[in-house]
Amino acid sequence: MSRRQLFGSLCSLVFLVNFGRVVFSPLLEPLKATFGVTDAAVGLLATLVWFGSAIPRIPVGYLLTRVDRHTIVLLSGGVLSGSALFAATAGTIEVLMVAALCLGISSGAYFTAANPLITELFPDRVGDMIGIHGMASQFAAVVAPPAIALMLFAGSWRVTFLLLAVVGVVTTIVLVLATLRTELPQAGGDDRDFLGAARNQWRLILVAVVIVGVTSFVWNGLFNFYVTYLVTTKAISQSAAQGLLTVLFGAGIPAFVITGYLAERLPNGPLMLGICGLFAGCLVVLTHTTGYVPLFLISFVMGYVIHGLFPTVDTFMLSSLPDEHRASAYAVYSGGMMIAQAPGSSVIGSLLSSGVAFDTVLLGLAGVILFVMCGATGLYATGRFPGVGAPVGQ
């Protein structure tokens, strides 16, 4: 029971660290009014959070060869609380930018340490537990906009960060107590050679970074421009488009749990490749869809499909990696994947600014995903696909 209590505390903390990562998007206009700055300045805030989430992943992977996983998780809770308090008291936009960067760092450190820890806590239920953990994270992305709207109605945007700091402290304390009551696994005790893990597992890392990096690159650009796409190309009102964006993210809540369950029971390789192929197909269907109800349906299906990729890939990676390489190699994958996906919005924005039609961009990106999937499918068919996703007997 103590491991389940610890897992429950981890789910609470992952909700908070992801909330800190998504909190700035619905606050951009109030922050612009408070500090009297431009769209570019407040837009940089959201960029800094995601940049911060990428920064610590590989360094933390090295740190995990020297420090226990749960120690890093607890430290990430402390950084989250301190950063949120710093943001709540920020007097200038520059101070808030530093706080945003630190909030991102707390999330990157958390995910790098927590996912291997969960795998080692529940080695026989990796997909199930990663899926539930991911659902708790995704729930933050869904509730953030209405929760922040309520905060703004009741008071100042600063209340949002103040509450995040207080709840972060309480949750971290609860997590400390749960850790003290739990007999923690020793599976990662031999994970002491960071570079050796990367060298030994480079095929597995490379396959996962390419597949997830390319698909997430497209997803990153799509969801950031989704409202713009619906308003300008599909003639949907701003409010309706915002609602469809919520549908896109909301579909991730059941996707994490259900697909995590499937990833525990089905070969990860075909499941992962199938999800990426379905996402490319959804992009093609989206370009040919008009009307609110059809757009609602494709938004839900596409949101479900893409969010199903993340527990599948985490299950694939964490189940494939041996104990002595798990945290180190997973950190290299995680950092590489974040770096690969980060330019998605910039590239799509540049293509649109150069006059390329939005539908043309989406169809081209769908083609890129399918091209990568064809190569990965060839590896699988010829028995060269690494990890637990490989065909039986290979």
CATH number for the domain including 229? 1.20.1250.20
The whole-number pLDDT of residue 105 equals: 95
Tell me how many domains the chain contains: 2
| Same domain flag for 267 and 314 | yes
The whole-number pLDDT of residue 191 equals: 64
Rounded Cα distance, 23 and 88, in Å = 12
Q: Is residue 391 part of a domain?
A: no
Q: Is residue 279 part of a domain?
A: yes
Rounded Cα distance, 270 and 272, in Å = 5
Q: Using an 8 Å Cβ cutoff, are 331 and 69 in contact?
A: no
The whole-number pLDDT of residue 188 equals: 56
| Same domain flag for 243 and 370 | yes
| Same domain flag for 105 and 214 | no
| Same domain flag for 117 and 247 | no
| Same domain flag for 196 and 165 | no
| Same domain flag for 275 and 328 | yes
The whole-number pLDDT of residue 226 equals: 86
Q: Is residue 392 part of a domain?
A: no
Place of tokens 């009551």: 181
Which regions in the chain score pLDDT beneath 70?
1, 39-40, 186-192, 387-394
| Same domain flag for 230 and 250 | yes
Sign, Cα dihedral of 379, 383, 388, 389: positive
Instruction: Estimate to the nearest angstrom the gap between the alpha carbon of 153 and the chain centroid.
Output: 29
Q: Using an 8 Å Cβ cutoff, are 269 and 386 in contact?
A: no
Backbone angles phi, psi at 175, to 5 degrees: -65, -40
Show the domain range for 157.
1-185
Long-range pairs of 293-296 with CB within 8 A, sequence gap ≥ 24? 295/230, 295/234, 295/236, 295/244, 296/244, 296/247
Among the three residues 161, 185, 209, which one is the final residue of a domain in this structure?
185
| Same domain flag for 174 and 86 | yes
Q: Is residue 390 part of a domain?
A: no
HSE-up of residue 13 (Cα within 13 Å, Cβ side): 35
Residue 157's identity, in one-letter code, is: W
Among the three residues 150, 185, 220, which one is the final residue of a domain in this structure?
185
Instruction: Estimate to the nearest angstrom the gap between the alpha carbon of 341 and the chain centroid.
Output: 11
| Same domain flag for 85 and 200 | no
Q: Using an 8 Å Cβ cutoff, are 287 and 159 in contact?
A: no
Rounded Cα distance, 157 and 148, in Å = 8
| Same domain flag for 246 and 364 | yes
Residues 6+ apart with CB under 8 A from 6: 121, 175, 178, 179, 181, 182
| Same domain flag for 278 and 160 | no
Closest CA to 328 of 176, 118, 127, 112: 112
| Same domain flag for 272 and 363 | yes
Q: Is residue 362 part of a domain?
A: yes
Residue 129's identity, in one-letter code, is: M
Among the three residues 169, 185, 201, which one is the final residue of a domain in this structure?
185
Closest CA to 364 of 381, 351, 380: 351
Rounded Cα distance, 291 and 230, in Å = 10
The CA-atom distances, in angstroms, between 258 and each of 230, 283, 287, 312 are 28, 22, 27, 10
